[in-house]
Amino acid sequence: MITSNDLSELKGKRVIAAMSGGVDSSVMAALLHQAGVEVIGVFLHVWDYSREDIARHGSCCATEDAYDARRVADTLGIDFYNMDMREAFRRDVIEPFISDYESGRTPNPCERCNRFVKFGALLEIADKLEAEYIATGHYVQRRDDESGVHFFKGADAIKDQSYFLATTSREQAERILFPVGHMEKDETRRIARESGLPTASKHESQDICFIPSGDRIAFLRHEGSRAGFVAGDIADVNGNILGRHQGIACYTLGQRKGLGLSGGPWHVVALDGKHAQVVVAHPEQSKIRRVDVGELSWIRPAKAGEAIEVKLRYQSKALPCMLTIDGDTAVIAFDAPQAPTAPGQVAAFYSDRELLGGGIVQAVYHASN
Integer Cα distance of 239 and 278 in angstroms? 11
Question: Considering its fold, how many domains does the chain have in total?
Answer: 3
Do 267 and 329 belong together in one domain? Answer: no
In a domain, 206, yes or no: no
**pLDDT, one tens digit for every residue, the chain (369 residues):** 677 678 988 999 999 999 999 999 999 999 999 999 999 999 999 887 654 544 444 445 567 889 999 999 999 999 999 999 999 999 999 999 999 999 999 999 999 999 999 898 899 999 999 999 999 999 999 999 999 999 999 999 999 999 999 999 999 999 999 999 999 999 999 999 999 999 999 887 767 888 877 889 999 999 999 999 999 999 999 999 999 999 999 998 889 898 999 998 999 999 999 999 999 999 888 999 999 999 999 999 999 889 999 999 998 899 999 999 998 899 999 999 998 899 999 999 999 999 999 999 999 998 765
Boundary residue ending a domain (194, 217, 242): 194
Q: Do 258 and 315 have their domain in common? A: no
The angle at the Cα of 11, spanning 167 to 186, to the nearest 5 degrees, equals 60
- Say whether both 41 and 166 belong to one domain: yes
Is residue 215 in some structural domain? no
Out of 253, 285, 317, pick the residue that ends a domain: 285
pLDDT at 54: 44
The answer to whether residue 214 sits within a structural domain is no
Q: With respect to residue 362, please indicate whether it lies within any of the assigned structural domains.
A: yes
**Do 32 and 141 reside in the same domain of the chain?**
yes
In a domain, 278, yes or no: yes
Tell me how crowded residue 70 is: count the other CB atoms within 10 A of its CB: 18
| 212 inside domain | no
Rounded Cα gap, residues 220 and 102, in angstroms: 9
Query: 3-state class of 279 per DSSP?
Result: strand
**Would you say 166 and 358 are in contact if contact means Cβ atoms under 8 Å apart?**
yes
- Sheet with strand 38-45: strands edge to edge: 79-84, 38-45, 14-18, 133-135, 176-177
Q: Are residues 26 and 145 in the same domain?
A: yes
183 in the same domain as 293: no
pLDDT of residue 232: 96
Whether 267 is in a domain gets the answer yes
| Eight-state DSSP code of residue 6 | B
Q: Which of 60, 61, 110, 113 is catalytic?
A: 113
Q: State the Cα–Cα distance between residues 80 and 70, nearest whole angstrom.
A: 7
Closest C-alpha among 116, 141, 5, 99 to residue 344: 99
- d(C-alpha 319, C-alpha 136), whole Å: 27
Say what the pTM is: 0.91
Residue 209 bears catalytic tag = yes
CATH number at residue 294: 2.40.30.10
| Phi, psi dihedral angles at 325 (to 5 degrees) | -110, 135
| Same domain, yes or no: 75 and 132 | yes
Buried b (16+ CB within 10 A) or exposed e, 29-47: bbbbbebebbbbbbbbbbb
Which structural domain range is residue 105 located in?
8-194
Do 31 and 165 sit in the same domain of this protein?
A: yes
Residue 264 sits in a domain of what CATH number?
2.30.30.280
φ/ψ (deg, to 5) at 98: -65, -50
pLDDT of residue 293: 98
121 and 159 inside one domain: yes
Whether residue 221 lies inside any domain: the answer is no
- Catalytic residue from among 60, 110, 209, 321: 209
Both 177 and 31 in one domain: the answer is yes
| Pair (17, 63) in one structural domain | yes
Query: For the chain, where are the E strands, in sequence order?
Result: 14-18, 38-45, 79-84, 133-135, 140-145, 148-153, 176-177, 232-236, 241-245, 267-272, 277-281, 288-298, 308-311, 319-326, 329-338, 346-351, 354-366
Three-state SS annotation for 51-77:
CCCCCCCCCCCCHHHHHHHHHHHHHHC
- Residue that terminates a domain, selected from 285, 300, 323: 285
Question: CB neighbours (10 Å) of residue 187?
Answer: 14
Residue 114 pLDDT: 92
Domain of 144: which CATH number?
3.40.50.620
Rg (CA), the chain: 22
Residues 109 and 247 in one domain: no
